[in-house]
């Protein structure tokens, strides 16, 4: 069982790939599975709404990989918490 901040939901799941989106619909986190790779899980975020310097990092600048699904979900949770900490007072139009 994986727990995430309450403001994040699984938007889509397909063939081991996941897309998570926050309640403001301003960020999504992608967890992609590519079985042919040594580190088959790739995790990154995309800002989909708002000022692109709202979290003081370039869009797409955070990308990580994992060998195990459990570790990948842990990294997803860390990314959610990071984005939440940077956007709690941000206003998205």
Which two structure tokens, joined as six digits, stand for 17?
């790939």
What are the extents of the domains in the chain?
8-87
User: Per-10-residue mean pLDDT for the chain, 93 residues long?
Assistant: 89 95 93 96 88 62 89 96 84 60
pLDDT at res. 50: 73
Residue 14 CA to residue 88 CA, distance in Å, equals: 30
Contacts of 37-41 with CB under 8 Å at 24 or more apart are: 37/65, 38/67, 39/65, 39/66, 39/67, 40/66, 40/67, 41/65, 41/66, 41/67, 41/68, 41/69, 41/71, 41/72
pLDDT at res. 62: 80
């Amino acid at each position: 069982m994986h727990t995430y901040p309450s403001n994040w939901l699984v938007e889509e799941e397909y063939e081991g790939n996941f897309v998570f989106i926050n309640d403001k619909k301003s960020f999504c986190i992608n967890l992609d599975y590519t079985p042919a790779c040594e580190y088959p899980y790739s995790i990154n975020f995309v800002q989909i709404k708002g000022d692109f310097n709202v979290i003081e990092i370039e869009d797409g600048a955070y990308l990580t990989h994992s060998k195990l699904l459990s570790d990948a979900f842990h990294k997803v949770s860390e990314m959610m918490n990071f984005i939440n900490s940077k956007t709690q007072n941000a206003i998205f139009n």
